[in-house]
Amino acid sequence: MSDSGDSDIAWTLYKDRPEWKDITPVSEDDGPNPVVVIAHSEKFEDVYDYFRAVLKKNEKSERVLQLTKDAVELNPANYTVWQYRRDLLKALGTDLRSELDYVESVIKQSPKNYQVWHHRRVLVEWLQDPTLELELTGDALLQDPKNYHAWQHRQWAIKTFGLFSKEMAFVDNLITEDVRNNSAWNQRYFVVNNHLGWSDLNVQREICYAMEKIKFVKNNESAWNYLRGVLLHDKRGLSGNAVVTSFCEDLYKNKCRSPYLLAFIIDICDEAIKKGELSCFHNPDRAIELCTALATKYDKIRSKYWNYISEKFKIAKNEQEEKEKQQENGDKMDD
Amino acid sequence: MDNLPRCYSDIANEKYDAERVITDTSSDQIDVEAVILNLYKQFEKNAAMDPEMPLLNRNAHTAVLKTWLKGLPKSYECLDASRTWLVYWILHSLWLLNDMPDAETLSHTVQFLSHCQHEEGGYGGGPAQHPHLGTTYAAVNALSIIGTDEAYDSIDRSSLQKFLWTVRDVDGSFALHKGGEQDIRGAYCAISIAKITNTYTDALFDKTAEWIVSCQTYEGGFAGCPGMEAHGGYAFCGLASLALLNRTALCDIDALLRWCVNRQMRVEGGFQGRTNKLVDGCYSFWQGAAFPIISAILSQGNKEIIESVFFNQSALQEYIMVCCQARDGGLIDKPGKFRDIYHTCYTLSGLSVAQHGTGIGDPFVLGSPRNELNRVHPLHNVAPHLVYNAVHYFIRHPPPVKDKN
């Protein structure tokens, strides 16, 4: 991880520093029969021996603040060091702006680490100032557009401080860049769900957006999942929106056999059956036929799942036929 | 029939179709598929001559795990705050391989874990580190695997329960440590710890199930916190938590199942962690273990018990054994990556789930019968009888101090 420190020739061990003479280092107490012993470098051991010593003494001083920097550099995942650093910042009344710069530099080196992002969040909470967060997370997402930590921090900042205004444009850019970036699609949902709201107009607009993207790349699960997610907010449901159902049927007619399309039509059938609104397109037989096609041809890896779903439709179909028979018998009795 | 090994030409037919729109996602996926198809092609040639293929390289894995238990190179400095995790990953892997260390080593391990126990309750990632829910979960699981009275008695459950209260928030969520980040891992670890050690109370987990359900996303999986993207690790935490709390009725299980089945990759056979991301051996467990849990939940509402799991068990075993074994022992994320202890543990755990499915009926073991691993409890990722033994020990020996509520 942090080999950079070890190649530093000018480095003076803490035990050789006169200003640390008053501290007796505390070596790691693994007991007499340790396991999973990590072969630490001399520098690592030295820094942490001193960190343990000041932690035990509960020393709150500038020199300890510097020591935690060295400790973090050697292992940015040490949550105890970060927590103690926050205790120090409070106790010493350190300038939090410079701390923001510092943690930004650590984030740049370790962008996939829980502790660094949490530290950043606490600082922003203390300062009640999120001005730099969109840019910081934007940079991290430029490096890795699916960095979970960066997205989580961004969502927190946006939601806590109401920074929604430019987020849709940001998301749109990312989706344009990579239409398969599922994190960006998730962020789109986040913006509508927490800010724009699911008005009829917004629902229709988002449906059109997803359909456009599906037309562009049909095998893109992200767009299909988003479409399904938006339709959760359509009062007419999955099966009642004629724009969506005819969009699907057109794709099917044009020989599209994306498993996500077939799965979507199956869900439309399912809903139609539950609502009792069967049609020539959406009925148990069609669903069973599609399940078979998926299980044997278009989505073989999931054959067990599709067979299971198919069974559910067969049961529903039998129940339906049973009901019809009873009705017929009832009608006859009435005659 | 659903479990038959796939032949190379069938796998090659499943290649990614980028529809002439190349993006970062599609090119990364195509690169990985190319490497993996090569391995499968090679494998089919070799397997034609050897019916025992694919073979789990048990001896190599066991040997390297036993070395790791003793000591680790400098490159593990970045896990210096996760040493109880290292213990759990190694012991659990060895248990899966049915080659546990001798009693003396296990006793030493208990002693070491005691040095990681904090006076305020719970365990830190190493001696003199703050208590943390993740490292406490790992320590409790490791001690359950060791399963001796010495191991059980080494846990200070009164202070442990106090620690759980200190990291609980009023909304039912949990922070990983005092002043630390809050996410669904915290809730899962707390519940798993409390259930095993009999420190569970309804008050401690009041509103927790509702908070967890708020992490289920429009895709069907669970995110680390409300609003975020569905993710394999977090989905496992969410589902296992709800199952441990007996509150699975709160979530949309059909949507979760749909999301989970779609995470299995059609070429690779392994699982991805999120939609449109790459395969990774560790999700063999995080995604794989969701299936026996889901089958159990669906069985509750069904006249017939669902005996199978709804993923392709054979394809997952192929991926793990053909693509995820490092030559000198240990398992990996995907070809080209270095081995590490985390991936060794969760990839092997996933292999066990792929072999044993729901645990009802005979196991399905691809390749040599010697590939069969021991079973795991899908909610804790510890052997079922070891969970049972620990739970019953702690019921017979209640903690000395009662919960404050």
How much is the pLDDT for B275?
A: 98
**A221: which chain B residues are within 8 Å (Cβ-Cβ)?**
262, 275-276
Q: What is the pLDDT of residues B94-133, one digit of tens each?
A: 999 999 999 999 999 999 999 999 999 999 999 999 999 9
Q: Do A180 and B105 touch (CB under 8 A)?
A: no
Which chain A residues are closer than 8 Å to B277 by Cβ? 146, 182
Residue among A35, A219, A229 minimizing CB distance to B19: A219
B255-269 pLDDT, tens digit each: 999 999 999 999 999
pLDDT higher than threshold 60 for residue A2: no
Question: Is B262 in Cβ contact with A303 (below 8 Å)?
Answer: no
Q: Which of A39, A177, A232 sits opposite B218 (nearest CB)?
A: A232
- Contact present, B210 and B349 (Cβ < 8 Å): no
CB contact under 8 A, A148 and B231: yes
B311 touches chain A (CB under 8 A): yes
Q: Chain A contacts of B69, Cβ < 8 Å?
A: 35-36
In chain A, residues with a C-beta closer than 8 Å to the C-beta of B24 are 145, 177-178, 181
Whether B301 and chain A come into contact, CB under 8 Å, resolves to no
Distance, CA of B205 to CA of B172 (rounded, Å): 6
Q: Residue A334 — very low, low, confident or very high, per pLDDT cuts 50/70/90?
A: low
Contact: A186, B257; criterion CB under 8 Å: no
Q: Looking at residue B281, what is its pLDDT? A: 98
Distance CA A78, CA B125 (A): 9
Q: Tens of pLDDT along A214-269?
A: 999 999 999 999 999 999 999 999 889 999 999 999 999 999 999 999 999 999 99
B277 noted as active-site residue: yes
Q: How far apart are CA A261 and CA A252, in angstroms?
A: 8
Q: Give me the residue from A26, A41, A219 closest to B74, CB to CB.
A: A41
Under 8 Å between Cβ of B258 and B220: yes
Is the CB of residue B131 less than 8 Å from the CB of residue B122?
Answer: yes
In the set B280, B334, B339, B380, the catalytic residue is B280
B260 a catalytic residue: no
Residue B279's closest CA among B1, B41, B98, B39?
B39
A72 within 8 A of A81, measured Cβ to Cβ: yes
Q: Which of A57, A90, A112, A274 is catalytic?
A: A112
Beta bridge partners of B377: B382
Task: Say if B25 is an interface residue toward chain A (CB within 8 Å).
Answer: yes
The pTM of the full predicted model, rounded to 2 decimals, is 0.96
Indicate which residue of B340, B346, B356, B377 is catalytic: B340
**Half-sphere exposure (Cβ direction) of B251: Cα atoms closer than 13 Å:** 33
Mean pLDDT of A65-84: 98
